[in-house]
Amino acid sequence: MKKVVIVTTGGTIAMTKTHDGVVPFAGGNSLITQIPKLGDIAQIEHVEFSNVPSPYMSPSMMWHLSRLVQEIVERDDVDGVVITHGTDTLEETSYFLDLTVKTEKPIVFTAAMRNINELGTDGPRNVLSSVKVAVSDSAKGMGVMVCLNDEIHAAREVTKTYTSNVATFDSPGYGPLGIVDEDAVIFFRKPLLRMHIDVEGIEERVALVKTFTGDDGRILREVKRLGYKGVVLEGFGRGNVPPDVADVVGEVAKEIPVVLTSRCFKGRVLDVYGYKGGGADLVKRGVILGQEVSAQKARIKLMIVLGKTGDREEIRKYFETTRMRGELQI
């Protein structure tokens, strides 16, 4: 029987409802390993990393979790890892590990939308399905995955789409990698845009700024003054911004890396529009075109890349992997 290490970090899956609302409780993580039939699937080892709501998960905690998981997957007796996490920031932590943990062994994030004592809690089923994925030979080399509601998603592509529904996680524009159907783990495709970045530390001081109609750029201008070492700018459509923001982008990009993303969750930013504030204009002003599926994931990647290099052109290579209109560059 294969061995799976379950690393618990907290989240709704380890919470209960009190008169103050839904909160973590001391025994929440340990209950996860007591799910019936879990021992029929794999030998289980439990490691408690933390017991916090996922909004408490910081980049520093993600880094330490990454190092812990790297140590675990390097053990000869371990075949896979399942990580329980809160849903709010799961997509960021899972992508962080996808970029920083080097292994062919399956790493699966899972969670729950309903707390332990809520009717129809989804946590036990999600853990069982995730362990099934972790012991599947087909899951090897698939990178970090997210498994909830019997769907398997790639960490790079997945996002939380619903505030309360158990079917909240989706990969818009991509779809799931596969499904768990009773005892069968079925993959439809393999993610091709994965990247591993070998670093010994990260730069946490990376901001995220979302532009808006009528934006004059004053918020973006404050980023450098506040001590941030990089910024992700979420623009419109192809990565376009209001004209006043374009001038500020040029100012900020001379000092720190500015990675441009889109508020659209399908497609990619590109240097198409040449008007002031258009993507082509912003490239001339020094922006880096981010190809991640969301601004929050581009921020995760920039923190990691800045832990490796401060050279602007080297940073650009990590982000502009698909810039040349149809020609894949990695």
pLDDT of residue 113: 96
Three-state SS at 184: strand
Tell me the per-residue pLDDT of 136-160, one tens digit each, with 9 for 90 and over. Answer: 999 999 999 999 999 999 999 999 9
Residue 306 reports pLDDT greater than 90: yes
Among 221, 250, 222, 246, residue whose Cα is nearest residue 236: 246
pLDDT grade for 322, boundaries at 50, 70 and 90: low
Determine the length of the chain: 330
pLDDT of residue 235: 98
Quick one: average pLDDT of 285-308?
Answer: 96
Q: Which helix (H) or strand (E) holds 109?
A: strand 107-110
CB count, 10 Å around CB of 179?
17
Tell me the per-residue pLDDT of 184-229, one tens digit each, with 9 for 90 and over. Answer: 999 999 999 899 999 999 999 999 999 999 999 999 999 999 999 9
Distance in angstroms (rounded) separating the CA atoms of residues 245 and 218? 8
Q: What is the mean pLDDT of the chain?
A: 94
Distance in angstroms (rounded) separating the CA atoms of residues 163 and 44? 31
DSSP 235-272: EBTTTB--HHHHHHHHHHHTTS-EEEEES-SSS---S-
Report the percentage of the chain scoring pLDDT > 90: 90
Quick one: average pLDDT of 278-293?
Answer: 95
Tell me the per-residue pLDDT of 42-97, one tens digit each, with 9 for 90 and over. Answer: 999 999 999 999 999 999 999 999 999 999 999 999 999 999 999 999 999 999 99
Beta 159-160 vs 169-170: how paired, if at all? Answer: antiparallel
- Domains annotated for the chain, with CATH where assigned, are 3-187 (3.40.50.1170), 206-319 (3.40.50.40)
Distance in angstroms (rounded) separating the CA atoms of residues 256 and 258? 6
Residue 329 reports pLDDT greater than 60: no
**Cβ atoms 172, 266 nearer than 8 A:** yes
What's the gap between Cα 246 and its chain centre? 28
Residue 325 reports pLDDT greater than 50: no
- The whole-model pTM stands at 0.95
Question: Active-site residue among 12, 110, 211, 261?
Answer: 12
pLDDT of residue 33: 86
Distance in angstroms (rounded) separating the CA atoms of residues 303 and 114? 31
Quick one: average pLDDT of 1-26?
Answer: 94
pLDDT of residue 231: 98
Say whether 9 is catalytic.
Answer: no
**Cβ atoms 147, 110 nearer than 8 A:** yes
pLDDT grade for 119, boundaries at 50, 70 and 90: confident
